[in-house]
Amino acid sequence: MLNKKTIDDLKNLKDQKVLVRCDFNVPIQNGVIQNYNRIDGALPTIKKLLDQGAKLILCSHLGKPKGEALPELSLAPVAKALSERLGRKVLFVSDPQVTGAETRALAKTLKAGDVLLLENTRYRAEETKYGKDERAEEYAKELASLCDNGIFVDDAFGTAHRAHCSNVGVTKYCRENAVGYLMEKEIRFLGQAVENPVRPFVAILGGAKVSDKLNVISNLLEKVDTLIIGGGMAYTFKKAEGHRIGKSLCEDDKLDYALDMEKKAKERGVKLILPIDNVAAKEFSNDAERRVFEEIPDDWEGMDIGPKSIARFCAALEGARTVVWNGPMGVFEFENFAVGTLEVCKAVAGLKDATTVVGGGDSVSAVKRLGFADQMTHISTGGGASLEFLEGKELPGVAAADDRQ
Ligand code: AMP
């Protein structure tokens, strides 16, 4: 279980400055926020700290400005949204230096209950160069000095797999480093699933590429009872077994790896379940003619799992007590090829007494688009971070927090 200090372990916060790394990396178009999930997800941590009388300094990155103060990647709209949600004015300085003179002066005058949001941390190129550039060390020091080198809380799971100045660098210069509620929740659900699952434990992997998930497959084979592989990545396995896959997605340099994984599954007694039929098309389009094949002819491309595969996958999910799902079963963005993903979604959502965790950007958007988000136990907010977690890697953003005494 989580052995890291959390905000519940922080005491005597009255009048203390707390620097909080949030994940406000939200989609913004023409200054208008398109989705508030991440902002709402940060509120429990912010409110808890405010209730304790802390003075808050919030920071986050937004997009990839690569060291340029691009106005379209300013956090100004987030400050406005936060003000509305918190019912108090969130202070904000349009500061290309992020920690410039005006910001520093404002940080000094904060009173209990005040909230200051810093500008996009990636307006400074050093942000992503921690450990690689001396100037990044300076930037980390500057950020930490805003809270008088006191208390730092990291609540940005989405960047936990990266060691940047604003999540890892600052911890070297702050007295106490804790994780926030959002981060704690992610680690609890993903960690419990992978480290201490109630069995049977079934993992479902899909999406486009085997190579993106090489280490996830290998690590999960050491933990699960059943591994279901669908989506574009299944064709590399099918081809390696000698099946015809037409012009479906395939990574020819991963055929041996696929066979190694099948061998590993057999040796460990893990059921490895692959599609047995496919919905294919001749063109990559929603309106293309659809046909179901077990062996896909040369000029057809597998776009979704077929009806027999759906039945097989759903049967393999029956009775599961822990499910981790990463990656769609087909090209779900096209309605006509979303059936496999939809049926698997229904099967996972309908499980009784199961902990169901969905991680990774595309499976999360699939589950949300298909309307099953509130029927899952946990939807991870971090695509890359949740994948690295499933690979069994230690996330630098989590490792940097203080151990619980
Ligand atoms: P990933 O980022 O690896 O999880 O991949 C997600 C993408 O995989 C989605 O955009 C899907 O459209 C795509 N995908 C899933 N199945 C297939 C398939 N059979 N052929 C092509 N793309 C696919």
* Burial grade of 243 (CB within 10 A; 0-12, 13-18, 19 or more): middle
**Ligand 1 atom 15: residue of nearest CA:** 330
Q: What is the mean pLDDT of residues 29-55?
A: 94
- For 108-136, write each residue's pLDDT tens digit: 999 999 999 999 999 999 999 999 999 99
Helices and strands (DSSP H and E) totals, the chain: 13, 17
Active site residues: 38, 209, 361, 384
> How many Å lie between the centroid of ligand 1 and the Cα of residue 84?
38
- For 207-254, write each residue's pLDDT tens digit: 998 888 989 999 999 999 999 999 999 999 999 999 999 999 999 999
Q: What is the CA radius of gyration of the chain?
A: 23
What atom in ligand 1 is closest to the CA of residue 328? 15
Greater pLDDT, 393 or 330: 330
According to DSSP, the β-strands at 90-92 and 32-33 are: unpaired
The phi and psi torsions of 43 (rounded to 5 degrees) equal -65, -40
**Ligand 1 atom 12: residue of nearest CA:** 331
**Ligand 1 atom 5: residue of nearest CA:** 207
Look up residue 277 and give its two tokens: 């039929």
How far is the CA of 98 from the CAs of 17, 141, 142, in angstroms?
17, 13, 9
- For 313-356, write each residue's pLDDT tens digit: 999 999 999 999 999 999 999 999 999 999 999 999 999 999 99
Residues with CB under 6 A from ligand 1: 207-209, 212, 231-232, 249, 302-303, 327-328, 330-331, 333, 360, 362
User: Which pLDDT score is estimated for 321?
Assistant: 97
Mutate to test the pocket of ligand 1, among 228, 249, 341, 386 (most ligand atoms within 8 A of CB): 249
What atom in ligand 1 is closest to the CA of residue 212? 3
Closest CA to 121 of 96, 93, 90: 96
> How many Å lie between the centroid of ligand 1 and the Cα of residue 264?
25
* Average pLDDT over all residues of the chain: 95
> How many Å lie between the centroid of ligand 1 and the Cα of residue 169?
35
- For 253-270, write each residue's pLDDT tens digit: 999 999 999 999 999 999
User: Which pLDDT score is estimated for 285?
Assistant: 97
- Residues 213, 210: Cα–Cα separation, whole Å: 5
How far is the CA of 19 from the CAs of 24, 82, 105, in angstroms?
14, 16, 15
**Ligand 1 atom 18: residue of nearest CA:** 232
> How many Å lie between the centroid of ligand 1 and the Cα of residue 306?
15
How far is the CA of 235 from the CAs of 29, 216, 230, 343, 360, in angstroms?
37, 17, 8, 20, 20
What atom in ligand 1 is closest to the CA of residue 278? 19
User: Which pLDDT score is estimated for 1?
Assistant: 54
pLDDT category of residue 359 using cuts at 50, 70 and 90: confident
348: left (phi over 0), alpha (psi -120 to 50) or beta: alpha
> Does residue 70 register a pLDDT over 90?
yes
> How many Å lie between the centroid of ligand 1 and the Cα of residue 331?
5
> Does residue 405 register a pLDDT over 90?
no
Q: What is the DSSP letter of 138?
A: H
Q: Is-contact 342 370, C-beta < 8 A?
A: yes
- For 132-168, write each residue's pLDDT tens digit: 999 999 999 999 999 999 999 999 999 999 999 999 9
- For 279-320, write each residue's pLDDT tens digit: 999 999 999 999 999 999 999 999 999 999 999 999 999 999
User: Which pLDDT score is estimated for 351?
Assistant: 96
Distance, first Cα to last Cα, the chain: 14
SS3 call for 159: helix
> How many Å lie between the centroid of ligand 1 and the Cα of residue 371?
19
**Ligand 1 atom 10: residue of nearest CA:** 331
- What percent of the chain stands above pLDDT 90? 87
- Work out the angle at residue 106's Cα, subtended by the Cα atoms of residues 102 and 108, and round it to the nearest 5 degrees: 120
Look up residue 368 and give its two tokens: 């949300």
What atom in ligand 1 is closest to the CA of residue 209? 3
SS3 call for 241: coil
Closest CA to 401 of 159, 155, 204: 155
Q: How many CB atoms lie within 10 A of CB 324?
A: 31
- Helix pair angle (181-195, 37-51), 10° resolution: 110
Report the predicted TM-score, pTM, of the whole model to 2 decimal places: 0.89
